[in-house]
Structure 1
Amino acid sequence: MTKVRKLLSNRDARLFMAGQILSTFGDSALWLALGIWIKMLTGSASAAGLSFFMLALGTLAGPAGGVLADRMRRRPLLIATNLVTAALVLLLLLVQDGGQIWLIYVVMFSYGLSASVLGPAQTGLLQTIVPEDLLGDANSVMQTAQWGLRLITPLLGAGLLVAFGATPVIVGDVVTFLIAVATLLALRMRDESPTPSEQHWLAEAAAGARYIRDTPSLRQLTKVGALIMIAFGLSETAVFAVVSQGLHRPDAFLGVLISAQGVGAVAAGVTAAPVMRRLSEGLLVALGMAGAAVGFLLLTASSTTAVLVGAALIGSSLPWISVGIMTLFQRRTPPELMGRTDAALNVALSLPQTIAIASGAALVAVIDYRILLLGVATMAAVSSAYLLTRPEQRRSAGAEPKRTESPASAV
């Protein structure tokens, strides 16, 4: 707790993390509500799952977003992107019936494009604001707080949608974007302009991927991260079937499952940084993936209790996986490459996830969702076993030094 108190004593770190946490709160309420909204309008689980596919599809613009994050001042970039995204979300107020769900898909795709800029810029700015020895604690605090808020977000989003329609959820998300902008404006840090580059933007975009390729520990985490994202992607639409076919519950019960995930995530988030310091980032990720494997198996049960426990285990896996991967990348990557490396990682994870979400939406219509979840659990178990056998992942946190960017590495 000493390190957490030290982290929270940093005014800029406090403001930045609070803004991002609240913005994520609004996002999670909206995304879940939109999936349920589409299901209510169309009666189709596949159509609902397609909204998550459109979101993931937009994130494939990550390489371009990474270049922007490394070649522009990050705070103004974040402010502008938040404001534009808030305006796009307001377009959802135009949706009135099932014939207009295409507009939801357009907004979700645009949301993905926004995330391809926000993600790398946020990661790079956090790396600048927070001292290196506190990065793990910062990531852990953000994950814990975000999932803590998600304990009420799903129920709030689903409840507002059922009781009053989508308008309160949409407006609420816009407000959280504006709060994020306000916290960014309040930062006292010096956001210096990056050194101009004479390279073609394609060469700059490739630098992050090259850095991952040439750093064994990051390359290994990226490989298993892609596999686990396939697993999570396939499960996106299957969860709707778990609720309706396995538990015979109304669609809004999905909010209860997401809240159960939140309970597990909060419990795991509190322990992420201490466990990571005792073991390593890679082993933390491996343990998280093992927990996810057990959780996916439990989702195949017809018992509400078993499914809720499975959801909690899946939730508990998320902070450990996320904190471990993000902290290792931040510690091993030079600041001038952070945006592009983060973008390359996001593409490596989101591309297979995008394909998996689309495949899952199609597969759940033709095969038993339990078979799909058994395959998902196997992927998570294989990912965990792979990391546990890699000697690079057993090194103590921060053992591998950063390299600085050079012209040769950026082309």
Structure 2
Amino acid sequence: MNARVLWANPQARRYLIGQTLSLFGDSALWLACGIWVRTLTGNDTAAALTFLFFTAPALLAPLAGLLVDRVRRRPLLIAANLSGAAILAPLLLVHHRRDVWLIYTVMLLYGLLNVLIAPAQSALLTSLLPRDLLADANAALRTVQEGLRVLAPLAGAGLFGFFGGHAVVALDMASFLAAAALTARIRITETHPVDVGARHEHPVHPTRRATDQITAGFRFLAGIPALRRVTFASAIAAFAVGAGDATSYAVISQGLHRAPQFIGVTQVAHGLGAIAGGLSAAAAIRRIGETRTVIVGLMLLAGGPLCLATPWLPVVLAGKLSVGAALPWIVIAIITLLQRLAAAHLQGRVYAAFEVCATGPQTAGLALGAILIAVLDYRLVLIGGTVGLLIAAAVLVRTRIPTPTHISEGAVTASAATRMAARATITRTSPIALRRPPRRSRRGP
């Protein structure tokens, strides 16, 4: 029923379709760029570095989150999508092995843009919909995205195989322009972002003021014990997933003895699993809660690398199906949890802070994996990934997300530094814990 209510909302439809289109080209492009580099260099490690450059800008996510919390989200998304089309233009100049640096440069800028778009998407969604529809909206967005990703790898690999990388670039540029057009049609009245706590009782040094603003999302995550554990478990899992990502081309070339373009076929299996996971995630969250949904997802995800370590195509495809089904449960549950607990003026920074805590380890895992597959059997890296994912699931066992009252109480019993952060981000500013307006405005993050 919730899904029907969601899709009956024309603004929600435009949002979901527009933001999905902005990621449709992404799926085709980063895959095609990896194939492009592999074709030009003949090197699996060089191809894996493509995704490393894409994920590296995640370290700048706190600044992106602060920007999202300081401007209106809809115009920001329109500008970001238009910028995405322009960023891709240098790829039209790639023709030879010596031009690989252009691919790396564009993927770096592309990753930077993605770091900005992701928190803006999440923050705008909380303004469009009531909280009881957030899980369904996140699940719908993820499902539609993954459905398109079933087509995108085929489109990317197919276009690359028949027409070369330039055709994929043109496809992605068109997807960005279409996303900008649909986002522009969303009708929403966004109030001008308020610098909550813009006035202090006591003077604060500008440097400390800026630091407090940028790190507000991290302090929110640190101020709630359950969120600390969720973040820590996510970091472990992301590191394991990153190391596994580095083996993608090795699985194809060394394990299955296929051409690099065959990765498009395995990505289709991943996408089919993701559709199933996305369709069932919202129901799982309503039935067992966000934390247990993450645990089940991690356990399902842990079986994937073991399947990928085999030389048998059906087993590898089953592994990709398992990985695809698990990731939406994990991602949708965590995003919904953060959206539900964070105050409106912190949405961008909380999302961005979590992205750093997850994508940073993923980038490190990818870098380590790229090094290890050059000197070790890639299957050892995959087995290590399974161990890491099981550890992440164990961290979350018996973890319970507190009620709003318990959040406030937990903030009071925390350490002095954490108490200050928790008061600033929850007790004083969060609509969840706020019982009445403060009589006096204070500067907070």
Q: Same fold (TM over 0.5)?
A: yes
* Alignment-derived partner of residue 65 in structure 2: 66
- Deviation, 1:202, is 2.5
Say whether residues 1:54 and 2:53 are aligned partners: yes
- Deviation, 1:98, is 0.9
Give matches, 1:10-29, under 5 Å.
10-29=9-28
Instruction: Call closer, same or farther: CA 1:321–1:399 in 2, change over 3 Å.
Output: farther
Which stretches of structure 1, 4 residues or longer, exceed 6 Å deviation after superposition? Answer: 395-402, 406-409
Partners of 2:427 and 2:146 in 1: how far apart?
33
* Alignment-derived partner of residue 83 in structure 2: 84
Q: Deviations over 1:371-404 (max 9, x none)?
A: 11000011111111221232x15x7999968655
Check the 8 A contact 2:146/2:271 in 1, yes or no: yes
Instruction: Call closer, same or farther: CA 1:110–1:336 in 2, change over 3 Å.
Output: same
Say whether residues 1:208 and 2:213 are aligned partners: no
The correspondence for 1:264, drawn from 270, 273, 296, is 273
Give matches, 1:28-177, under 5 Å.
28-177=27-176
- Deviation, 1:410, is 3.9
Letter in 2 for 1:355: A
Check the 8 A contact 1:235/1:373 in 2, yes or no: yes
Partners of 1:170 and 1:409 in 2: how far apart?
45
Give matches, 1:222-233, under 5 Å.
222-233=231-242
Partners of 2:195 and 2:404 in 1: how far apart?
33
Give matches, 1:212-361, under 5 Å.
212-361=221-370
Partners of 1:397 and 1:316 in 2: how far apart?
31
Partners of 2:320 and 2:40 in 1: how far apart?
26
Letter in 1 for 2:397: L
Q: Deviations over 1:4-26 (max 9, x none)?
A: 00011111111011101111111
Letter in 2 for 1:80: A
- What is the RMSD computed on CA atoms of the aligned residues? 1.9
* Alignment-derived partner of residue 382 in structure 1: 391
* Alignment-derived partner of residue 183 in structure 1: 182
Letter in 2 for 1:47: A
Letter in 1 for 2:153: P
Partners of 1:20 and 1:132 in 2: how far apart?
19
Instruction: Call closer, same or farther: CA 1:173–1:206 in 2, change over 3 Å.
Output: same
- Deviation, 1:167, is 1.4
Aligned-pair identity (%): 41
- Deviation, 1:85, is 1.9
- TM-score, with length taken from structure 1: 0.95
Aligned residues: 408
Q: Deviations over 1:76-126 (max 9, x none)?
A: 111112211210112111111110111111111111111221111111001
Check the 8 A contact 1:331/1:398 in 2, yes or no: no
Check the 8 A contact 1:15/1:184 in 2, yes or no: yes
Whose Rg is larger? Answer: 2
Partners of 1:398 and 1:6 in 2: how far apart?
30
Instruction: Call closer, same or farther: CA 1:13–1:399 in 2, change over 3 Å.
Output: farther
Partners of 1:13 and 1:396 in 2: how far apart?
28
Contiguous gaps of at least 5 residues in structure 2: 199-205, 409-425, 431-440
* Alignment-derived partner of residue 438 in structure 2: none
Q: Deviations over 1:167-219 (max 9, x none)?
A: 12111111111111111211110022111465633221111100000022222
Q: Deviations over 1:220-245 (max 9, x none)?
A: 21111111110111011212111111
Letter in 2 for 1:356: G
* Alignment-derived partner of residue 429 in structure 2: 405
- Deviation, 1:289, is 0.7
Partners of 1:47 and 1:178 in 2: how far apart?
30
Partners of 1:305 and 1:325 in 2: how far apart?
31
Secondary structure, aligned partner of 1:405: coil
Partners of 1:389 and 1:372 in 2: how far apart?
29
